[in-house]
Structure formats: C-alpha cells, structure tokens
C-alpha cells in the first residue's frame, strides 16, 4: 500500500471542508492529456460528494515530456497567491492545447490578475520552489505518473474513470462514517 | 512473479549495448551507487510511465551520487528512438541477444511474455545489491523505494566510516 507521506496542510490548494470525511489529493500536470481527461471527472466527483469531500491539487509537472507543464504550474501558483488558484486551474485545463505565455497573460487579464507581475514571476521563478516542493512530496509518496490520486492518504491504483474513482471514494465514506 | 535477487547478493556483471556502437559493462561503474531499472517495454502508452518519471527524478538520484540504467529486451535502435522521443537523460541498455539473458541472471525475466519484470535494484559502491523490489507488471513502482534505499545506504556508509575511523583511533 502506497501512502501519502506529506500530509495536507495550509500551504495546499484545497476545495471543500477541512473536516470532510474523505480527502482526495491529485498530483497533476497541466500538459498531461490524461490529467486533462480526468479534470471534468474530478469536477463531477466533487459535485456528487459535495461537503463530504475535500479536494486537494498538487503539482507534478513532467517537464521533460511536457515543456509547458512547469510554467503552467507556476501560473496557477501565481493566481493562487492572488486568491484565484481554482479559476486559473480550471482555465489551464480548459485550454490545455494552447499552454504558453500568451495564454497565461490572456487568462490573467480575464481573471483580473496583474499581467506584468505574472510575467516577472515566471521570469524570476518566484513559484519554482512551491512547484518543486509539490513534485518532491509526490516522489516521496510513490506518485508513479499523472494523474495520481490519493484517497484519505492511500494511493488509488485504479483508473480515473468516474465509476472507479467514485466507487473508491464511496468505500472510504463507508469506512470513515459509521452508519 | 519471478524470484528476483535480494539484498546482499553481488550483482551479476554484464556487458550490453547502450547505443548501436557502444557497449557498457556494469563492473566498470563500480565506485558509484547504481540503480538498475528493468522494465517490460519501450513505448508504453501512458505519459508519466516509469521511464518518463525516472527521467524527471534523475536530479534527486544524482544528489546521492547514483547513476541510473534502464534495461529492457528492446533492440538498440528501438531504445535510441525511444530515448530521443522522450528526451531521456540516462542510458537504456538492450538485453536483446541472447534475449533477456541479463534479466534472467537477476531473476527478473518473464518467460511467458518474453519481457523483463518491473524490477528495481539499488547497488552499493562495491556492486553488491543493497535493495531490490519487483512490482506487479501493471503497476509502475514509482521512485520512493529507490530514494529510500539510497538514503539508508548513505546513512549506513557514514556509520561504517565512523566505525572504521574510531577503530583506527583505538
């Protein structure tokens, strides 16, 4: 059993109540097509489970395979620093085939984020340490590709198909909420 | 699943093609911790497969002074194309002729399918297996086991060093 070695903390991007019975952690890469396919599934899952689920996203950019993954992750972090992580997260996955500086600046404009500041942050690598820390936390937890999900700290070795992921979360709910 | 060689066993030496015109001998690399990653085949369809993952984690392995070798039964030209396509920064060795002979010597060959197991070996500086792990063929083992082994090995080496030093002093 492979388990999440780095617990969820304040520095993570989380959606849903901190005391939710199930926490779903995803390690993802904005340029990975499988993560792109998983993104709407995760949204459906979150809608379905509502307050019973907390969703956490951590970066796991495979930069050698995906040349834009790292800059996209940094752009999401920049938006996060301005309180708009999830808006940027959704927009990046929604425009996965157009990743690159022109897209980041356009999205920053739409989300009313300071574009010049974003460009400087990317040039200066302001968010490199945060993205790297996420990546290394994944490496130490046995992330073996993207997307990689952990349900209440245990790696989900099934597929990211709605029924697979949903069933695994259902099972955790049964364990954690005595009827 | 095959019975792979375990910790404490000297790693069987081998010489394999690393490029179409270059050979690599494991014994020549003594003095460095080595990671041997046997895997079933090039061109796995998932992104972030084992090889791509290790390519990203390479800097972490090298922090421990360790070098990584990938091994499969694919031919040299196949490896060359795969390494170029995936921008791999570590060598892939071709256990091609006689097919799977090296994997067999490590207990990491699947006779039925004719491919290598997903088997990992971490060797110490003297070429002795320090840690080994065989993953179910469909499960990419990740890199946490390798990094954990490299860390434990480093700790043990520094302990041995200290013991030796205090031995000399006594």
- Report ipTM (2 d.p.): 0.77
Q: A64, B87: Cβ pair inside 8 Å?
A: yes
B140 touches chain A (CB under 8 A): yes
Q: Could you give the residue ranges of the DSSP H alpha helices within chain A?
A: 33-49, 69-81, 85-94, 101-110, 115-124, 128-140, 162-176
**Residue B78 is a catalytic residue:** no
What pLDDT does residue B151 have? 95
DSSP run (H or E) holding A58? strand A53-59
- Would you say residue B9 lies in a domain? no
For residue B161, what is the domain's CATH number?
3.40.30.10
Which of B47, B55, B89 minimises the CB distance to A34?
B47
d(CA B55, CA B41): 16
pLDDT tens-place values along chain B, 170 residues long: 559 999 999 999 999 999 999 999 999 998 999 999 999 999 976 656 889 899 999 999 999 999 999 999 999 999 999 999 989 999 999 999 999 999 999 999 999 999 999 999 999 999 999 999 999 988 888 999 999 999 999 999 888 888 888 876 54
pLDDT of residue A168: 97
Q: For B95-155, where are the E strands, in sequence order?
A: 109-110, 115-116, 118-123, 129-135
Assess if residue B1 is contained within a domain.
no
Q: Tell me which chain A residues have a C-beta less than 8 angstroms from the C-beta of B89.
A: 64
Contact B137, B110 (CB under 8 A): yes
Regions in chain A scoring below 50 on pLDDT: none
pLDDT in tens, B106-149: 999 999 999 999 999 999 999 999 999 999 988 888 999 999 99
Backbone φ and ψ for B94, nearest 5 degrees, come out as -105, 105
Chain A residues within 8 A of B61 when measuring between CB atoms: none
DSSP state of A100: S
Is B6 inside a domain boundary? no
CA closest to A65 among chain B residues: B86
Structural domain boundaries enclosing B145: 15-169
Q: Which two tokens stand for residue A151?
A: 């349900």
B89 touches chain A (CB under 8 A): yes
Cβ–Cβ contact A128 with B under 8 A:
no
Please indicate, yes or no, if residue B145 is contained in any of the structural domains: yes
Say whether residue A29 is in contact with chain B using an 8 A CB cutoff. yes
User: What sign has the CA pseudo-torsion A168, A173, A178, A179?
Assistant: negative
Give the count of Cβ contacts less than 8 A between chain A and B.
Answer: 69
Q: Determine how many CB atoms are found less than 10 A away from the CB of residue A94.
A: 12
Q: Which residues pair with B16 in a beta bridge?
A: B24
Pair B6, B149: CB distance under 8 Å: no
Count how many domains chain B has. Answer: 1
Q: Is residue B8 part of a domain?
A: no
**Candidate list B47, B78, B116, B134, residue with the active-site label:** B47
Distances (CA, A) of B148 to A1, A142, B63, B170: 16, 11, 13, 33
Q: Domain spans of chain A?
A: 13-176
- What pTM did the predictor assign? 0.86
> Which helix (H) or strand (E) covers residue B152, if one does?
helix B144-169
Distance (Å) from the alpha carbon of B55 to chain A's nearest alpha carbon = 7
Architecture per CATH, A13-176: 3-Layer(aba) Sandwich (3.40)
Q: Is A157 on the interface with B (CB under 8 A)?
A: yes
In 3D space, the residue among B132, B170, B169 whose CA is nearest the CA of residue B149 turns out to be B132
CB–CB contact B47 A33 (8 Å): yes
Q: Which of A32, A65, A139 sits opposite B144 (nearest CB)?
A: A139
Q: Is A3 on the interface with B (CB under 8 A)?
A: no
């Amino acid at each position: 059993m492979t388990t999440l070695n780095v617990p969820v903390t304040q520095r993570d991007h989380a959606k849903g109540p901190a005391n939710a019975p199930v926490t779903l952690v995803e390690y993802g890469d904005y340029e990975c097509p499988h993560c792109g396919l998983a993104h709407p599934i995760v949204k459906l899952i979150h809608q379905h489970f509502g307050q019973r689920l907390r969703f956490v996203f951590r970066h796991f950019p495979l930069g050698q395979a995906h040349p834009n993954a790292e800059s996209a992750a940094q752009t999401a972090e920049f938006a996060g620093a301005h309180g708009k992580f999830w808006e940027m997260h959704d927009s990046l996955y929604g425009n996965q085939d157009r990743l690159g500086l022109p897209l980041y600046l356009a999205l920053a404009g739409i989300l009313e984020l300071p574009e010049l500041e974003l460009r400087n942050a990317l040039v200066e690598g302001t968010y490199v340490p945060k993205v790297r820390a996420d990546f290394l936390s994944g490496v130490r937890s046995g992330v073996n590709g993207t997307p990689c999900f952990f349900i209440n700290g245990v790696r989900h070795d099934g597929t990211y198909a709605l029924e697979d992921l949903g069933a695994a979360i259902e099972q955790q709910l049964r364990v954690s909420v005595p009827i | 699943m095959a019975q792979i060689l375990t910790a404490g066993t000297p790693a069987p030496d081998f010489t394999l093609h690393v490029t179409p015109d270059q050979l690599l001998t494991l014994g020549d690399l003594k003095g460095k911790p080595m990671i041997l990653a046997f895997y079933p085949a090039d061109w796995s369809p998932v992104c972030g497969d084992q090889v791509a993952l290790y390519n990203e984690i390479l800097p972490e392995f090298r922090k421990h002074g360790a070098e990584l070798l990938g091994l499969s039964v694919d031919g040299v030209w196949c490896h060359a194309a795969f390494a170029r396509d995936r921008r791999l920064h570590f060598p892939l060795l071709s256990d091609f002729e006689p097919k799977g002979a090296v994997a067999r010597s490590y207990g990491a060959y699947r006779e039925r399918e004719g491919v290598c197991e997903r088997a990992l070996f971490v060797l110490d500086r003297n070429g002795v297996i320090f840690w080994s792990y065989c993953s179910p063929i469909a499960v990419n083992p990740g890199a946490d086991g390798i990094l954990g082994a490299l860390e434990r090995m480093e700790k043990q080496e520094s302990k041995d060093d200290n013991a030796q030093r205090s031995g000399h002093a006594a």
